[in-house]
Chains A and B, each alone.
Chain A
Amino acid sequence: MCSKKGENQEISFTYKGNENVIKDLFLDPFLQVGSDRLRSISQIRHFLKFQIFIGEGGFSLMRAMTKPARPENRTRTQHKGLPKHPVSRYARRNPFSTASRKSSKMGKSGKTPQNVRKVGIQQADRLIPCNSTNTSIIQSYFKTVHPDLYAHLAAGGEYHLYQYGGSSRDIYLVPLKMHHIVKRLLKTYPIYHSGIHLGYMRRKMTHTGFERAFYLSYEGGAFLYSYINASAPEMLSDTQSIILDEDGEKGFLYGRDVTFDDVISDTDQLKKKRIIFVLDEDKEYIGLALLMVSQAGVKKPNEEKPKKHDEYSRSPNFALRLMNLADAGLFLRKGA
């Protein structure tokens, strides 16, 4: 068997002919494919041809051409080091063998494909600690609520981020006490939900294609709003919120966007790209919104001067709307 450094892929050859000559060839440091388990002179010739004419690329071409070894004629006594159950071992080690392809796609019975996407909750899916990529995405998302919010939450050390490892990519904020239990229980039980459902990771379409993005859920918003009110009231002045009248609340809970006529609080200071907490007349949290700015007129390219009132997007060139991001009506629309 020969292998190339830096790659996990391995190739098997069938051995025929003068072992010493072939050994010398393969142990040549220049070729760097040394192995004492050589199988086929013709394979080596092929390899050398490719190595000479194509250079390093020869190895990968060679690999693509290599057929799986036939270990059925080998026994443990004939060739030291051969596996006891060669087919299964080769299937595991040689990614190009047909046995390997079969085992990766088929179940134990050989009838049910394993890679078919299963519908619904699978018992094997469970929470896992949030990875660093997702954590940094969430961190930058929190800045849209308040620049210091994430740091404030993290400094307290009272919560830990988890993500669901199943088909959905839900993000959970697990309280510290719960985290100690969940961390250990995860070794035994597939925990499906824990703590506060903060939001979810989804693909987001951008100018350059799709990228991973975090979306705050209704409950996540409720938690953050209550957290800011209770633990960080100094942030309230720099946190955006609007209060809706009764009609506005009704429409919002039906999943509609907010119209400015329904907002009874001041909207002049609302900034774009910042999360807005939506409250009802009793100042109870009912959801999340975002100030969307769509360009009504034609913007000049390479404009040097910043647009007047651009920070708040109040230029007449822009059309404004308050987009519904999450609302309590979700529980009715989704159904329990």
Chain B
Amino acid sequence: MILKPNENLENLQGLSDLTGYSPFMIKAMQLNYGDEYRVAMNAFDRIPIHSIRVNTLRITPEKLKGRLEEKGFKIKQAEWFPFALHVDGEDALVKLGATHEYLKGLYYNQSLASMVPVYTLFPLPGDQVLDMCAAPGSKTTQIGQMMENNGEIIAIDVKPSRIKSLVHNLRRCGINNASVFIQDSSVLKVPFGGGFTPNKILLDAPCSGSGILRNDPTGKRRKNDAEIQILADRQRKLLKRGLDLLSPGGVLVYSTCSFHYQENEQVVADVVLNRKDCEIIEPDHQIGFPGLDHAEGIEFGYEMLKTRRISPHHHDTDAFFICKIRKLDH
């Protein structure tokens, strides 16, 4: 990271006072969004649109829509996925996380952008899928849903406190083909063992969470990149181990809910471009815009244009980074 605390930030103080963002965060917005940084900052300040993912294992989107509308929710079909709905619960008597339908596991509260990584991975029934940082389970349950409870999922997380949430959500959503354990994924044994050879891996890496400022505005006041550097190192380790574990011909999706290039393009460039056994491939969908091929004088390579960025000012959802990597057969 070239940007250091309080470097060239004095002239951003005025904007900082106006917007509530720290000078460091404004500078980071400038670096990652270029000329659009003010639009992006404005978009991050908007009230988030609630979206849900319909658990198609249990109900169809049409049926759920009808049932939630009866309870006073205004439902609108989301644009990217047939199983995603936008929900306006202003007139509803109950909260979206306390309806009977929620308790029965008919849907999961999840932002639209958060559904993209699993959709990019596109797990199918019979696959062996490894979710390296699984808790609290939004993406794991989506994987189980797309696999129709057929195949094997191994879901791992390092924090015992978060594992409980993961198991809770798996149970609520009726995901029957997942095994869970507590482990640091960056030190998993290679090969995985037990006859489990993952052909699809999801690495939704722990990140600074700068992409979800709509839900967690405390990130606006971040003062420096000390934590980002630590996280980036961890992400590199995780990605490296994930690629080691991936079976030949398999696909790994790396994603973060951060807009900092240090956690996204730079991590991928450092790990993937130094390996000869894998390549970055284009996702099969048209969601998002290409990633950055350079920032602050650092060249990440042309390959980075195959990655995808989702931005609040373009897509009216959280900021996400998604990269699809395929391991070569040889």
Chain A residues within 8 Å of B, Cβ to Cβ? 120-123, 126, 175, 177-178, 180-185, 187-197, 218-219, 222-223, 249-250, 253, 280, 284, 286, 328-329, 331-332, 334, 336
Contacts and interface: CB of A to CB of B under 8 A. Distances in A.
A328 B152 CA distance: 25
Contact of A184 (B98, B100, B189, B193): B193
DSSP majority for the A interface?
A: mixed
Q: Which of B98, B102, B171 gathers the greatest number of chain A CB atoms within 10 Å?
A: B171
Given A121-B164, A197-B171, A336-B168, A190 B182 contact: yes
Chain B interface: which size bin? 20 to 34
A328 B178 contact: no
Given A178-B177, A189-B183, A194-B179, A334 B168 contact: yes
22 contacts: A121-B160, A121-B163, A175-B176, A181-B154, A181-B194, A181-B195, A181-B196, A182-B194, A184-B194, A185-B193, A185-B194, A189-B183, A191-B180, A191-B181, A194-B180, A197-B167, A250-B100, A328-B104, A328-B105, A328-B172, A331-B168, A332-B103
Interface string B43-65: 00000000000000000000000
A221 B176 CA distance: 13
Nearest to B192: A185
Contacts of B181: 126, 189-193
Contacts of A334: 168
Contacts of B8: none
A180 B100 contact: no
Interface in B154-201: 154, 160-161, 163-165, 167-172, 174, 176-183, 189, 193-196
A218 B102 CA distance: 15
Contact of A219 (B98, B174, B179): B174
Contact of B165 (A175, A196, A328, A336): A336
A245 B177 CA distance: 33
B169 A336 contact: yes
Interface of B: 98, 100, 102-105, 136, 152, 154, 160-161, 163-165, 167-172, 174, 176-183, 189, 193-196
A334 B196 CA distance: 33
Q: Which of B98, B102, B183 gathers the greatest number of chain A CB atoms within 10 Å?
A: B183
A329 B100 CA distance: 8
Contacts, number: 101
Contact of A120 (B136, B160, B172, B183): B160
Contacts of B168: 331, 334, 336
A286 B105 CA distance: 11
Given A188-B194, A332-B103, A193 B152 contact: no
A178 B171 CA distance: 16
A334 B165 CA distance: 10
A154 B45 CA distance: 56
A185 B153 CA distance: 13
Contacts of A280: 100
A331 B182 contact: no
A154 to B, nearest CB: 18
Contacts of B176: 175, 195-196, 223
Contacts of B102: 332
A286 B194 CA distance: 36
Q: Which of A122, A219, A249, A334 gathers the greatest number of chain B CB atoms within 10 Å?
A: A219
A284 B174 CA distance: 14
Contacts of B105: 328, 331
B100 A328 contact: yes
A222 B195 contact: no
A194 B196 CA distance: 14
Contact of B167 (A192, A223, A286): A192
Contacts of B154: 181, 185
A246 to B, nearest CB: 10
Nearest to A197: B171
B179 A185 contact: yes
Contacts of A184: 193-195
